[in-house]
Each structure stands twice: as C-alpha cells, then as structure tokens.
Structure 1
Amino acid sequence: MIDANDVEPPKKKEVLPLLEVMACVVASLRRCCRHSRGAPLPSMRISFSAVKLPQPPPPLLTFPAGITMDPFINPPWWRKEKVIVVMGSTGTGKSKLSIDIARRFPAEVVNSDKIQIFRGLEIVTNKVTEDECCGVPHHLMGIADSDEDFTSDDFCRHANDALSSIVKRGRVPIIAGGSNSYIKALANDDYEFRSKYECCFLWADVSSKVLNSFLSERVDRMVEIGLVDEVRGIFNPTADYSRGIRQAIGVPEMDDFFRIEWDPKVSCEVKVKILRKAIEKIKTNTCKLAKRQHMNIIRLQTQLEWTVHRLDATEAFQKRGNPDGFQEAWKRLVTEPSIEIVRDFLRDDGHVLIPPINTNPRMPFATNAVATVTR
C-alpha cells in the first residue's frame, strides 16, 4: 500500500493506465466531499495491486521446436554462388588442372592470364589448343586487340559477365591463370564479385629448381614449333613493348635479332649468336616471372579471406620424361586431392552441385607427358 501523495509522476509509456487510476482517485475524493462538507479530508490509501496493466501482444508467428527464422533471414536465393580459382606460377599446370576439374564437374573455365586475354601469338602466350580443352568451354581467351590497353578493371567487368553467364546455366566457374593482380582485383577488391561469390583457391606449385628446368625445356619446344616465325609476324621497329600483347615474354627479347636479321652487313654467325642470346633471355625472363608469381601468391594468401590449398606437383614434373609416371604422379598429387577439395566445397551449406563422377576419366594429352604441363 502507498500513500496517494507519494505517487511518482507517471512515465510516458504508462500514461494511459495511470490516468485511469487517477480518475478513480478523483471520483473517490468527490464522494468524500459530498458526505462530509467542511470536515477535514480523511487520509486515504490507494492500492495499485488491483490495477491490471496491459499485456504485451502475442507473437504474430510461432514455430515448432527446432524450427527457426534462418530460412527466411538467409533464403537460398541469397546464398553466394561457388567459384573455383586455380593459381600458380607459369608452367605449373594450371590449365591442365582446371580442365581436369571441369571434366569431373559441370564447369567452365574463365581465363585470368593477362597475356592470353589478347588475340594472337598462340605459341608465345601458351594458349590451350582446342584438343587440349577436351570440350571444356573457355572464356576471356583472346578477346582483346593486340594493342589494346586492357586493365584490371576491364578484366573484372568481363569476368563478372562471364561468371554470371556460367552460373545462370547451372555450371561452376573455374578461374584459371597466372596473373595474380587480376585475381586480387576480382576476389579482393571488386564489390560485385565479393557480394555474389564464394571462392575455393587451388595453388598448383612446383619447386623452383625443377620448374626452372622445365621452363627452359618449354622455351626450346616453343622455338621448335614456330615461336620465331610467330613473333616475326608482329615485329614493328617502332612498337611499344609496354602495352598489349607485345608485353609477352618472347616478344621484346627478339627485337635485336629482327633488327639485323636481313642486314647484309651482319654475318650469319653473328645473327645466330644474337638469336641464341635472345632465346636464353626468354628462358631467364620466364624463370624470373615464375619466381615473381610465386612470391605474389604467398603475399596474396595473407590478403584473401579464403583458404588457399597448395598442391605440390614437383614429383610429377620430375617424372615428365615418363608419360605413365607423370600421369600417375599428377593424378595422385594434384588431380585427386583437388577433386576432393572441390567436392567438399560444393557440398558446403547444402549447396550441392555434383554430377555422377567418372572415376577413371580419359586423361588428356596422355601421349605427350610434357605437353600436359606446358600451361
């Protein structure tokens, strides 16, 4: 019980019920005044215990035990789509791995190599051939003019368009290429990509000593199949080697040779010497590129919010002279672990996109173990 004179002013949210109480108090006072006019007003005590305050309204929607609002807060159509990213230094087998994966899942490849973006120089840029693609669709391969200034922003715009197209067809995009600046620009810095996609990163890696040996062999093979003739076809003594496809290793290194190739004052012996020097420079610069790309991937790992799965293909490259040995090691060390990683990735959060698996698919390029890892 409390004295009416001690009642605190009502709080704003209690105004309506307390006004009703006060109306009752005033009515009681008036009755007292009518029965005892001129007499002192008797003290009164008012009980608030009988006052029935309004109860909170019942919930609009109730769920049985074990059912929550999660499907409504995070509906399936808001979930991010899955994207696989295959990284690695030049020559470590990125294209082969991406094709291996795409032949086990409903997937398509999106090129992220900043030189293969340009049209032309198929040998110099090591573009995959139609046979090597094994029927797997490839996007952003040879889409830019040879002299175009193709930027990271251009790549992100084209890549987002390609990814959207692939996803709409119910397939998984595989981004593959050695240009880590493109991958960083897309996966780390592009809002559209980050808002739509979740990534699984695979890193095909080979020890530097073994890789450098392989890269040297690869340059010799490129020369044998026509690198010199291919570069000669775009030679221009006033060309800018800092833009377009002429940035590709194998183009600027040949400049000195082409400038004296038809000069009658220069002996054949000197020309051969200059050509050999150019080829050695191509090998050196390719190995330097591989080292830079390796360091960039290590740096990129610290900037990505996703785990990067490293796949060591060194043993397979050591067996590249033996087709059967190479294929066995590549499958055991690279392809099968990647398939398991991708399978788990696609199963995450109930977002399953896995067709029946062919447990023993025909391995591409089986007749030439070296050709399988030139990309």
Structure 2
Amino acid sequence: MSMSMSMSMSMSMSICKQTSPLLHIPTSGIDMNGRIDMKGICRWPQKEKVVVVMGATGTGKSRLSIDLATRFPAEIVNSDKMQVYEGLDIVTNKITKEEHCGVPHHLLGVVDPTKDVSTTTFCTMASTAVNSIVSRGQLPIIVGGSNSFIEALIDVKEHEFRSKYECCFLWVDVSMPVLNSYLSHRVDRMVERGMINEVRNMFNENADYSRGIRRAIGVPELHHYFQSESLISDEETCARLLEEAINAIKINTSKLADRQRAKIYRLKNLKGWKIHRLDATDVFRKRGREADEAWENLVAGLSTQIVSQFLYNFHPPVYCNLMGMREVAAAATNT
C-alpha cells in the first residue's frame, strides 16, 4: 500500500464538510446546513437509533464514520480502548482535528494515560455520551476496533442498551493479506511521522506496561530498544535493535487485526448480531482517484443506503456524483 493511498484517504475526508448530502429526499427533510434532518422526515420510534462501525485496525472505520456523520446529523463516540487515552496520537493512530471535519467526537483522548479504563468504566462513559447525543436530536455513531468494549456495552444486561436503542452494525472488512501489507506500510509511515520519539518521551525504566496507554502496540516493543541504546555505542547494533522493534510492532499489529476480525465473525455467526459486511479490499488495491471511487461505491455509498433504510425505512433512489462534488469543493477552496 503506497503513501499516496493514505494521503488520498485523508484528503477525501478533509473537504467532506463542504460536500452536499448524497440523498435525494423531499426538501422538508433538509436542514439549513444542507444535511438530512431526521426530525423533518419522520418521527422516531420508541427506541432511539445508534450506528456502530466495526472492523480491524487500519480498515477505514474512522473514515467511514466521518463520511456518515457528514451525510447525517451525527456525532461520533470512540470505542477504541487505546484512543480513549490522552497522548501518543501517532502510536494510537488518532485522527487529526482536521480529519474530524467539524464532527463532534466523544471519548477520544480524554483519559489520563496512566489510568486504567475498565470495560465497565467505558460502558458508563459511552452510555452517557450516547444519551447526550440523542438528547440533542443527533445520531450516535460508535466507532472503534475494541469489540470487547462494544459487545459489553450492547449485550450486558445491566447497561440496558438494547432496551433503549436499536443498533445498525456496519463492518468494514479487508482481506488479511491485503490488510497486512497496508499495516506494514502504515507502521513505516508512523515511524516517519515521529513515533519513535513520541514513545521515547514517555519511556520509564520501571513503567508498568499492563496499565493505561503503555499497553498500546508500539510502546512495549520499543522498551528494550530504549533500554539498550544508552548502553550500546555501536550504531550498527542500535540500528538492528530498532529494526527488530519495528518489525515486532508490525507483527503484533497484524495479529491484533486478525483477532479483531475473528471477534466480529464470532459476534455475527455465534451471537447472531445482524452485521452488514462491507468489503473494502478492492479499495486498498487501488490508488488515488480510483481508490476514492471504489471507497464510495463499495463502502461509503452502500453504508449510506443501509443507514438510510435503518433510520427512515427507505433507500435513496438516486446518488449524486461524489467525485464531481469533491472536485468542485476543492476548486472552491483553492480560489
């Protein structure tokens, strides 16, 4: 996976607030900002609606959540157990403020990195955020790769989530050989962006790597390297140790993705969750404009149809040309 692929993905999100909704619906259902007005289309049923975006690390969950939140009046709730902590933005692969596209995000970088967020604590925080979003007439979009958090929030009876909310599950999936290649290149880009120094700045010889943000992939793997670099004067040896640490990060990231994918299969096949699978493999095989078009056709556009059916019980009959709209928006930005 080339760097241009990643840059293309980021650029497509950076102008998303300037594009119009893709749905052709009655004008009474459009609010003053040009987005779909849920209250103007129908009355909510007894249960409020929640969209859950799932997938292994690196598959494009954040990108899809932003796409949906700029087509529907929505706010995003992070369910990644490492991104909930403050700090290590490169290591935990948090999206930037620019990539937020103005969409409010909850539970993203808000917890002291030395604390431990238990599943129960997350469920309490997430329930509070969802209740708040719904009270403002917005659609909550829960997004993240920590499926244990999502499963506990939705299925543990004491949280009463299913009794309050109806859920639409979207799964962004990529075949593992293609995803593994992308994840390897992503680690390289993280190194280029300063991941080594980011972790070095919080290095502590006696740190507890079983708590808080230090459990994030990239931190334990670099620990041995930081221990050794001050004792070894041989640059070649130091370079070899660093390469070994980076390779370990790549291996562990791929193992994480495989576990996350397996958990989603379990939720779908064993627990019977109705999960809509969106195969993004072809997106990762393409570059530039072709990748963006594949993303719209295979993931974003299809998800918009699914969510429209979920919210309003209808499918949009016509779609605008998203690429054309983005080109117009980009031209307007550059003038």
- Tell me which interval the TM-score lies in, with the shorter structure as reference length: 0.7 to 0.9
Q: 1:188 deviation in Å?
A: 1.0
Q: 1:135 deviation in Å?
A: 0.9
* Structure with more of its chain in helix, by fraction: 2
Aligned residues with identical type, % of pairs: 55
* Contact kept? 1:156, 1:186, Cα under 8 Å: yes
Aligned-partner Cα distance in 1 for 2:249–2:95: 20
One-letter identity of the residue aligned with 1:334: V
Q: 1:192 deviation in Å?
A: 2.4
Q: How does 1:196-345 map to 2 (within 5 A)?
A: 196-263=164-231, 265-302=232-269, 304=271, 306-319=273-286, 322-345=287-310
1:96 aligns with 2:58: no
Q: How does 1:115-264 map to 2 (within 5 A)?
A: 115-190=82-157, 191-263=159-231
Aligned-partner Cα distance in 1 for 2:44–2:55: 33
Aligned-partner Cα distance in 2 for 1:151–1:363: 41
Count of residues paired in the alignment: 283
Aligned-partner Cα distance in 1 for 2:218–2:272: 35
Assess, with a 3 A threshold, how the Cα gap between structure 1 residues 133 and 77 changes in structure 2: closer, same or farther.
Answer: closer
1:360 aligns with 2:316: no
The residue matched to 1:104 in structure 2 has which SS?
Answer: coil
The residue matched to 2:322 in structure 1 has which SS?
Answer: coil
Two-structure CA RMSD over aligned residues (Å):
2.2
The residue matched to 1:310 in structure 2 has which SS?
Answer: strand
Q: 1:260 deviation in Å?
A: 1.6
Higher relative contact order (CA 8 A, sep 6+): 2
Assess, with a 3 A threshold, how the Cα gap between structure 1 residues 342 and 359 changes in structure 2: closer, same or farther.
Answer: farther
Assess, with a 3 A threshold, how the Cα gap between structure 1 residues 274 and 332 changes in structure 2: closer, same or farther.
Answer: same
* Contact kept? 2:267, 2:273, Cα under 8 Å: no
TM-score (norm 1): 0.72
Q: 1:358 deviation in Å?
A: 7.3
* Contact kept? 1:188, 1:303, Cα under 8 Å: no
Aligned-partner Cα distance in 2 for 1:225–1:90: 18
* Contact kept? 1:86, 1:203, Cα under 8 Å: yes
Q: 1:303 deviation in Å?
A: 5.1
Aligned-partner Cα distance in 2 for 1:144–1:260: 31
Assess, with a 3 A threshold, how the Cα gap between structure 1 residues 158 and 358 changes in structure 2: closer, same or farther.
Answer: farther
The residue matched to 1:174 in structure 2 has which SS?
Answer: strand
Please list the CA deviations of residues 145-191 of structure 1 after superposition, one character each: whole Å capped at 9, or x if unmatched: 11111011111100111001111111100000000000100111143
- Structure 1, unmatched stretches of 5+, are 1-75, 368-375
Larger Rg, first or second structure (1 or 2): 1
One-letter identity of the residue aligned with 1:335: A
The residue matched to 1:343 in structure 2 has which SS?
Answer: helix
Q: 1:242 deviation in Å?
A: 1.1
- Structure 2, unmatched stretches of 5+, are 1-42, 331-335
